Structure 1
Amino acid sequence: MHKRVLGFLIMVTLIVSLTTGCGGNKSETVDVTDQEKSDFTGLSSGNVTLRVWGAKEDEELINQIISSFAAQYKGQATFNISFEPHSEASCKDDLLGDVINAPDVFTFADDQLMSFIASGVLKKVENVIEITGRNIPAACSAASFGSTLYAYPLTADNGYFLFYNKKYVNEEDARTMDGLLGAADACGKKVFMEMNSGWYMYSFFGNTDMEIGLNDDGISTFCNWNAKYTDITGIDVAEAMARIGSNHAFSSVSNDGFAAGAADGTFVAGVSGIWDESAIKDAWGDDYEAVKLPTYTVAGQQLQMASYAGYKLVGVNSYSENADWAAKFADWMTNEQNQKLRFNLRGQGPSNIKASESEDVAGSKAIKALWQQADYSDLQRVGGKYWDAAATFGTLMSEGNPSGKDLQVLLNEMVTGITGEETTGDAPGQEAETTDEAAEDIEKSADGADPEEAKDTEIIVDEKAEDHPEKAVDSPDDEAEKPVGDMQNQYGKDAESNDDENTDKTVEHTITGNGEKIEESKFDTFGERLEGIGGITGKGKIERPKAEETKTNESSDSEKVSEKNTETEDIEHQAQK
């Protein structure tokens, strides 16, 4: 059973007004807009107890939000609102493990959304027009399933980019990975990137014409990163990664993290996110800079590195005894003023459009780097089997493929691990023909041989199957592939991906461009730039700026706790199939 740590407790005892226009001290009256007055319809006016989960680092922030919420709705109810620090990385597992005792309001990373929807634990957002109107489309897409909004967008900064020290690396060096490694080597320093993590390793494949994403079942993953038939092949990327990994000026391992290595002088550049900005400022002072990821050399050309983009959301427990007030609090927690407060106290980039236009937000170097990288970022939509298979391959490449094993074999093993289907990397039609031809050859060989030879052939085939059980296609009775694993980012970088099952529908959310080169000058704010790439398209088609490569991307069966609504029943029923 998960631990619940009771943090700051606010008790606000207020006298409920039974009639409008009652006399009283005007200095104690809180102004409420007509819209807010109308929102009180149906809300209870008695004792309202709410529990709020959030990251431990958010304690001061959320306590301030609780206080302002109580002041804003003074006179409407007697509030007892408590904040409980809780890991956002384990939010899904802990909450779904004990839904009845779960909090009323909670923050989580967008890749956990489908599991929450399947369980029926999320209360749908009712004031959809208001919420979608004040937040960037990409964040709203990340909080939605189909056309239904299930959560309140909170941040739009969960991506990664390049930090570098201007004392050792100049602007031109920072444009390419080759330049970065050369500059670091010249001063005896290193460049850091977690190539051994599936979250960061996506950078090398994401902007090629190879593909990865969720299948229509919303559980399993399609992936052709071992392709031999694309413009840039799997081997091209693997060779590039191994070449970078074997460079002595490159490192994918840091005992104390990138920020610590920057502080002690080990690293002069590294790939990380806004969560490290404060520490990097302290380490490098005025010499710190943040920009989009560099290009890297692959197949004889420079290719812009891609990235995963993520969003932090606020959910409301549909089983809450005070679900309507919980929704009101989630709305308040994610409004413009509180997203500005979040940025000022925690340095997290807002999803609120107006908040992103503020001078403080626009002045952040890390936010500007996210603007630049946003053109090449995609929502993380992969099944649970992706993480281990990608990490294994990434680790080997980050070490320069020390075993010398054939790269195509390693790619095939990775893709088989991700998809659960054995693959050779040939074009879909050719791969099937190759498999059929091989089977025919074996059959013909057995038919034309004497009985003893046929027996030997059969034994050899059986032995091969037994020797390589990990390459066998899962049978229908095998456990179904588990869904989206927890995002390995600042909300849960160190957490292992969870293999809980999910609904068998897919969320067709993607970040998409408008099909033309997006120049930096076109966007003056964080929100405008992300809005320029946010949206939903049919099957997850990613429309890159024309100057870049084109690719496509598609954005546990949890214990059923209630038959609350038809949609939840349908999702869970299909997942069980």
Structure 2
Amino acid sequence: MKKLLAWPLTFALAAGSLAACGPKEEEGGKEAGKEADKPKQLTIWEDKEKGIGTQDAIKAFEKKYGIKVKLEEKPMLDQQEKLRLDGRSGKGPDIITTPHDRVGPLALEGLIAPIKVSDETKKLYTESSINALTYDGNLYGLPKSTETPVFVYNKALMEKAPETLDELKGDKFGAEYSYLANWTDFYFAHGVLSGMGGYVFKDDNGTLDPSDVGLANDGGVEGLDYITSWYKEGLFPKGIIGKDAGQTIDALFTTKKAASVMNGPWSFQPYKDAGIDIGVAPLPKLPNGEYVKTFIGVKGYFVSSYSKNQEWATKLVEFITNEENSKVRFEKTAEIPPVVKLMEDPIIADNEAAKAVAIQSERGVPMPNIPEMAEVWTPAANALQLSATGKSDAQKALEGAVKQINQNIETNHKKK
């Protein structure tokens, strides 16, 4: 779910001091060309209540390689801090599970190690998911699952998803509101700004440039103008601005006062539990004919820098994320693996919700995984609210946000 993503990152220490916390590079290293000695045991930290999706793969790995694998479930967002403490004392795991937006901070702190896998292995996964797990030119993990906001609608009110967002402006589908989106939250609004041509950090062939923030360019301004039009035209209620907007949207949808919403996979079951017969589709097109470029979140498996068995830990990561084991994990956890062939497999292609998330994930962009992203959330949200409430026009609001973001980056992430 969105809340599982590690934003905003509370990470403003200098790279030099962070790197000093990690183990020395020679730990776990082996002479090039020689296979590392086989360990008796590897330890993997899996997310809470998700071990069921990995158990069969672990048993198969143990049988194939004769290595015992210890599986421990720990809350995903607690694993970074626990690795920092347990790794240093020699009690840590060989592999952790974490969202991709923690890759930059974890790498800078020296807590995770780059991994080396073949190009053939990389091609198993969607390009966006591999990019999400890459930092400063190095691949740090392999993808476990992907998620992103999609279009969720009440089938009792709406027969099918529309082709464009503008169609939702002209028909309320028998409800008070045709469509609701938490567009004063930058996590959700980003897709509109990006689809119109804005961007957070300039992407130069997979390398993000934090000195180039593109939220206030022509596309970004056009995107915020479009968002603001929904508020000005009374298509959104006043109550969906600010921190309680998400709860208000859920309440309006589950009481059938809203025909459709923008939300993520974490919302599907609660909506069903509320008695709503939901339909799920990729998000409709923007007025410029482009798709909404939502943030995608990728959860992955990463090798600890403290592991003395990094080569074998990497083998285990490759094994549990291969096509066969990813398919089993999806069947047991419903987390969607960004494995290219599985996107076309009936197990996902014939599953309306999974297919929608998979398609939207291919249209989206990975949430930036560099530490500087921590400085974006608050200024961006402030700009969205200023424009939505009519306290500022879109251009001034976004220019102010970019100025604040740049100042924050200069203050908190200046290279020493």
Do Structure 1 and Structure 2 share a fold, with TM-score over 0.5? yes
**8 A contact 1:55–1:85 mirrored in 2:** yes
Structure 1 residues 46-57: aligned runs within 5 Å: 47-50=40-43, 52-57=44-49
Q: Which residue of 2 aligns with 1:213?
A: 201
C-alpha distance in structure 2 between counterparts of 1:176 and 1:162, whole Å: 11
Distance (Å, rounded) in 2 between the aligned partners of 1:261 and 1:60:
34
Q: SS state of the match for residue 348, structure 2? A: helix
- 8 Å contact 1:159–1:310 — kept in the other structure? yes
1:490-569 equivalences in 2 (<5 Å): none
CA distance in 2, matches of 1:409, 1:126: 45
Contact kept, 8 Å, 2:179 with 2:260, in 1: the verdict is yes
Equivalent residue number for residue 417 of structure 1: 404
The one of 226, 230, 237 aligned to 2:216: 226
Q: Which residue of 2 aligns with 1:58?
A: 50
In structure 2, the partner of 1:195 is 183
Q: Distance in 1 between matches of 2:104 and 2:38?
A: 30
The 2-side partners of 1:179 and 1:147 are apart by 42
- Alpha-carbon contact 1:262-1:283 (below 8 Å) kept: no
Once residues 335 and 258 of structure 1 are traced to their aligned partners in structure 2, the CA distance between those partners, rounded to angstroms, is 38
Secondary structure (helix, strand or coil) at the match of 2:53 reads: helix
1:198 Cα deviation (Å)? 1.5
2: CA distance between counterparts of 1:407 and 1:355?
A: 41
CA shift digits 1:183-220 (9 cap, x unpaired)? 44742246332212222111221022444315889673
Residues 133 and 58 of structure 1: CA distance in aligned 2, closer, same or farther (over 3 Å): same
1:245 maps to which of 214, 231, 256: 231
Equivalent residue, structure 1, for 2:300: 313
Match of 2:105 in 1: 115
Q: CA separation in 2, counterparts of 1:247 and 1:161? A: 23
**In structure 2, distance between residues paired with 1:212 and 1:288:** 32
Assess, with a 3 A threshold, how the Cα gap between structure 1 residues 256 and 211 changes in structure 2: closer, same or farther. closer
- Assess, with a 3 A threshold, how the Cα gap between structure 1 residues 261 and 187 changes in structure 2: closer, same or farther: closer
Residue 200 of structure 1 contacts residue 307 of structure 1 at CA under 8 Å; is this kept in 2?
Answer: yes
Q: Which amino acid aligns with 2:228?
A: A
Using a 3 Å threshold, how does the CA distance of structure 1 residues 95 and 394 change in structure 2: closer, same or farther?
A: farther
Distance 1:53 1:194, change over 3 A: farther
Structural RMSD (CA): 3.4
1:374 is displaced (CA, Å) by 4.7
The corresponding residue for 1:293 is 283
Question: Equivalents in 2 of 1:177, 1:345: separation in Å?
Answer: 34
In structure 1, how many angstroms separate the alpha carbons of the residues matched to 2:215 and 2:341? 39
Contact 1:53 1:84 in 2 (8 A): yes
SS of the residue 2:182 aligns to: coil
- In 2, the alpha carbon distance for the partners of 1:147 and 1:240 equals 36
Q: 1:491 — aligned with what?
A: none
Q: 1:140 maps to what in 2?
A: 130
Which structure has more relative contact order (CA 8 Å, sep 6+)? It is 2
Quote the residue 1:504 is aligned against: none
1:151-194 per-residue CA deviation (whole Å, 9 max, x = no partner) reads: 12222x3222211123212447x333343254447422463322
Give, in whole Å, the separation in 1 of the partners of 2:249 and 2:87.
37
Q: Which amino acid aligns with 1:166?
A: K
Residue 269 of structure 1 corresponds to which residue in structure 2? 260
Partner Cα separation in structure 1 for residue 177 and residue 129 of structure 2: 38
SS in 1 for 2:306: coil
1: CA distance, partners of 2:328 / 2:250: 24
* Cα deviation code 1:413-460 (max 9, x no counterpart): 212122229xxxxxxxxxxxxxxxxxxxxxxxxxxxxxxxxxxxxxxx
Residues 201 and 208 of structure 2 are in contact (CA less than 8 Å); yes or no, is this contact kept in structure 1? no
What is the Cα deviation at residue 385 of structure 1?
1.1
**Structure 2 counterpart of 1:84:** 73
Kindly state the Cα deviation for residue 69 of structure 1 after the two structures are TM-superposed.
3.2
Note the 1:327-366 alignment, pairs <5 A: 327-366=314-353
Distance 2:272 2:177 in 1: 18
**Partner deviation per Cα, 1:529-570 (whole Å, 9 max, x = no partner):** xxxxxxxxxxxxxxxxxxxxxxxxxxxxxxxxxxxxxxxxxx
Whole-angstrom CA distance in 1 between matches of 2:323 and 2:36? 25
Distance 1:238 1:283 in 2: 32
TM-score normalized with structure 2 length: 0.76
Question: Contact 1:215/1:221 (CA < 8 Å) preserved in 2?
Answer: no
1:450-529 pair list within 5 angstroms: 479-481=411-413
Find out whether 1:395 has 2:385 as its counterpart: yes
CA distance in 2, matches of 1:133, 1:214: 24
Distance 1:54 1:82 in 2: 7
d(CA) in 2 for partners of 1:277 and 1:321?
41
Aligned 8 A contact 2:96 2:301 in 1: yes
Q: Which residue of 2 aligns with 1:435?
A: none
Structure with greater Cα Rg: 1
Unaligned 5+ runs, structure 1: 1-38, 422-473, 482-574
Give the structure 1 partner of residue 8 of structure 2: none
**Percent sequence identity over aligned pairs:** 19
- Counterpart secondary structure, 1:120: coil
What secondary structure is seen at the aligned counterpart in 1 of 2:106?
A: helix
Indicate the SS of the match to 2:312. Answer: helix
Unaligned segments of structure 2, at least 5 residues = 1-32
Work out the CA distance in 2 between the residues paired with 1:81 and 1:103. Answer: 9
Once the 2 structures are TM-superposed, how far is the Cα of residue 316 of structure 1 from its aligned partner? 0.7
Letter of the 1:69 counterpart: F
Q: Could you give the per-residue CA deviations for residues 62-115 of structure 1, whole angstroms, max 9, x where no partner exists?
A: 344434433443xx24x2613132233x54455346642543211122222222
In structure 1, how many angstroms separate the alpha carbons of the residues matched to 2:316 and 2:362?
33
Q: Specify the SS of the correspondent of 1:56.
A: coil
CA distance in 1 between counterparts of 2:80 and 2:169 reads: 39
TM (norm. structure 1) is 0.57
Question: Equivalents in 2 of 1:361, 1:264: separation in Å?
Answer: 29
Could you tell me which amino acid in structure 2 is paired with residue 265 of structure 1? K
